[in-house]
Structure 1
Amino acid sequence: MFLDRKSLWPHLRRWEEQAADRDGPFRLRFGTLFVADADAARDVLVDPAGNYLSQSGFFRLGRKSLPDEVRSEASRALLRVLARHDLPESFDLDSALSEVTDRHGRLRHQHWGVELVRRYFAPVIAHRRHTEINVLVDAYVTSSVVADDIVGHVLRRSHRTVPAIRAGLAEQLDRLRAPEDGAQDLVDLVLGLPAGLTPADRAQLLQRLVLSTVGFTGVTLEWVVMLGIQHGYDTPAVTHAQIQRLVREALRLYPTAWRLIRVAATAHDIAGARVQEGEHVLIGTHAIHRSAAVWDSPLDFCPSRWEQPTDAQRRSYLPFGKGDGMCPANGFAVKALEHLSHLVLHSHRGHVRPRTRKPHVRTLLAPPAGWTRLTAAPRPE
């Protein structure tokens, strides 16, 4: 709709300034209604009146979501797949860091978190038996998730890589059959979806699952580690409780899903604003998380606010959405972020060198360009 610019940060800031001066939703210049109020946003997302088309970031083909019953079963299957694996036990942080560090010993922002989380979730995405599929997934992460959804390198030129990767995935998936003893990974999950789906459909669904699993979690990991280093959390003394609050505050200040889109199924009102059938509604998660009406010193980094959050703050906290379209694996994503962040910050000292102070906004809200350097902390004798 508007992802024709390399970064949307100036537009996002302008919309939020407009929201602060208005009482209720308002229309952006291209017609979309912008919602920056938590209660109105929850009404849209939970949608008890059925005013919006059913939507899923995980389980959809193009703009059309899979049927509700298929999505429900797929969501349950996703949780079963995640529960099959002991990712903290099997993950080797030192090996993964050595693979994602550049030749100058740096972790490049807008890259390293996604690449590391790809390795973390490798057993969940495709077991080692799927060699060709793993190669294609790696290509997709590099050429689409990083290059397009985060950085924006592919703008204004033909992008042929993703269709070629999807065709390759479809060819590989067409050779496989769903296991009879339940899905072990995301490959099995998409193979087990209803028979009416083509191999190309299953390939697209696998790509969406990779984007949701690796892209969102990886970008958030970069924010958590960067903020942790800047505020002194890179110490062997850091506790799990501190990391939990750090993760929540990072997701408040910089929600990777900086906006949520819904399409009206009927004409209706949102907080006094009229919406017609077929119109788009943009929920500004980033704006809601920084509302001065809800958060004390909303622009300040303050993990201690999560020691005793108010009811209004809990209602206004929407990093994974709400309702049927909410990320079904949000609990696992948070656990992964807490585990990885603690591993990195507990065992390394860090130095952050951003090139600018402005976040980078595309499909995902990513840290500013720059790099982080980690140095292993001395091991106690």
Structure 2
Amino acid sequence: MFLDRQSLWHHLRRWESLAADAHGPFRLRFGTLFVADAEAARDVLVDSADKYAPQSGFFRLGPTPLPRTLRAEASHGLLGILARHDLRSSFDVDSALREAGDGRGRLRHQRWGVQVVRRYFAPVIAHQRHSDINSLVDAYLTSSIVADDIVGHAVRRAHRSVPGIRAGFAEQLARLPAQRADAQDLVDLVMRLPGGLSLADRAQLLQRLVLATVGFTGVTLEWVVLLGVQHGYNDPALRPEHVRPLVKEALRLCPTAWRLARVAATDHEIAGVPVRAGEHILIGTHALHRAATVWDRPLDFRPTRWERPTRDQKRSYLPFGKGREMCPANGFAVQALEHLGYLALRDYRGTVRLRRRKPHVRTLLAPPAGWTRLTARAQADRRD
């Protein structure tokens, strides 16, 4: 959809405006039904989920999701792997920020977050694996997640690097020794899945799990730090409990996953609007999160609104979706964002410079072009 466009931001704002004037779902110019009402969205995602084709953003091969039992096993395995690693105590934030920066403390938007989160989740992704596997993970991050999903450099030309990286993963997976007793990382997870999957299938699943773990979380980390610096949360007195509403508000105002897509499996109705089998449904997370009928001053960044959210606000808040197809990154991504956001805002002085004012929207909704500078407080204090 609109893959010839560099950014979809003006489309999001137009759909948001149309949703404000509509009384229920409405069709976009290209025929897709657009849903920006909490009750209708819940009907699609939860109450009438069986009326839609199974889908998964990460546990799928091409457009075809894995069988539901296999997806459940993969999700359970992912949570088990995360529980085995103490990521907080093993992570060196200073080293990660230096590596992601330009040598002067400047972190380039639409890139630095995924680099830091890649370091954070390194033990989970390819724990003590051969350097070739980790090199392929880094190549996938730069040539696909950053270049395509975030920035959109691959918009007007054939994107040939991903199949090559996938072939490299398959080759490396074929060389692995016998499986370990307990799954320690994503490589173990994809190799242990049953069902007669080929090495190419397992390589593709590994790529998608890297996107789930690093891509969405990394972009949101940039939003959390950028908005935190701009709105006075960049303070050495910051406490962990202050960061939780900051993360929730960043995901409300700038939801990285700005839409949820479904395909109707049967003829039915959504809030009185007829839908035929095969039609595409677009749930506008971005529009839901900015509806003036639900959110007071919806365009303002106000983490305090989460002190006592209303029932309508809770039902309209869908940064990870809802129901059985909910994004598997839900729990561990929020925990990582709270921890990393806390470290960056408490221990570093921040400044933000924007080259553009508008967010950049491709597969993910990313911050505007520009950079954030983070300087360790001890270093900044010596300069003062």
Q: TM-score, normalised by structure 1?
A: 0.97
1:333 match: 333
1:65 matches 2:65: yes
- Conserved? CA contact 1:178–1:191, under 8 Å: no
Q: What's the C-alpha RMSD, in Å, of the aligned pairs? A: 1.4
SS, match of residue 227 in structure 1 = helix
Aligned runs of 1:1-381 on 2, under 5 Å? 1-48=1-48, 50-176=50-176, 179-378=179-378
Between the aligned partners of 1:354 and 1:365, the Cα distance in structure 2 is 16
Between the aligned partners of 1:291 and 1:262, the Cα distance in structure 2 is 21
Shift of 1:180: 4.3
SS, match of residue 353 in structure 2 = strand
- Conserved? CA contact 2:234–2:350, under 8 Å: yes
Q: Structure 2 vs 1, CA of residues 139 and 16 (structure 1 numbering), >3 Å: closer, same or farther?
A: same
Between the aligned partners of 2:283 and 2:262, the Cα distance in structure 1 is 8
Mean CA deviation greater in 193-202 or 84-93 = 193-202
Question: Residue deviations 1:244-284, cap 9 Å, x none?
Answer: 11000000000000000001010111111111101110000
Between the aligned partners of 1:69 and 1:105, the Cα distance in structure 2 is 46
- Conserved? CA contact 2:106–2:372, under 8 Å: yes
Structure 1's consecutive aligned runs of 4 or more residues displaced over 4 angstroms after TM superposition are none
SS, match of residue 80 in structure 2 = helix
2:222 partner letter = E
- Conserved? CA contact 2:105–2:375, under 8 Å: no
1:102 partner letter = D
Shift of 1:177: 5.5
- Conserved? CA contact 1:177–1:191, under 8 Å: no
Give ranges in structure 1 of 5+ residues lacking alignment: none
1:120 partner letter = Y
Between the aligned partners of 2:225 and 2:41, the Cα distance in structure 1 is 29
Between the aligned partners of 2:369 and 2:166, the Cα distance in structure 1 is 29
Shift of 1:182: 2.1
Shift of 1:195: 4.3
Shift of 1:130: 3.0
Give ranges in structure 2 of 5+ residues lacking alignment: none
Question: Residue deviations 1:185-205, cap 9 Å, x none?
Answer: 000000011241111111111
1:291 partner letter = A
Question: Residue deviations 1:57-102, cap 9 Å, x none?
Answer: 1200111100011011111001001111000000000011110001
Shift of 1:330: 1.0
- Aligned-residue sequence identity (percent) comes to 72
Shift of 1:374: 1.0
Q: Structure 2 vs 1, CA of residues 195 and 49 (structure 1 numbering), >3 Å: closer, same or farther?
A: closer
Q: Structure 2 vs 1, CA of residues 192 and 38 (structure 1 numbering), >3 Å: closer, same or farther?
A: same
Q: Structure 2 vs 1, CA of residues 225 and 273 (structure 1 numbering), >3 Å: closer, same or farther?
A: same
Shift of 1:47: 4.0
Shift of 1:103: 4.1
SS, match of residue 378 in structure 1 = helix
- Conserved? CA contact 1:178–1:192, under 8 Å: no
1:139 partner letter = A
2:274 partner letter = R
Shift of 1:179: 2.4
1:251 partner letter = L
Q: Structure 2 vs 1, CA of residues 159 and 202 (structure 1 numbering), >3 Å: closer, same or farther?
A: same
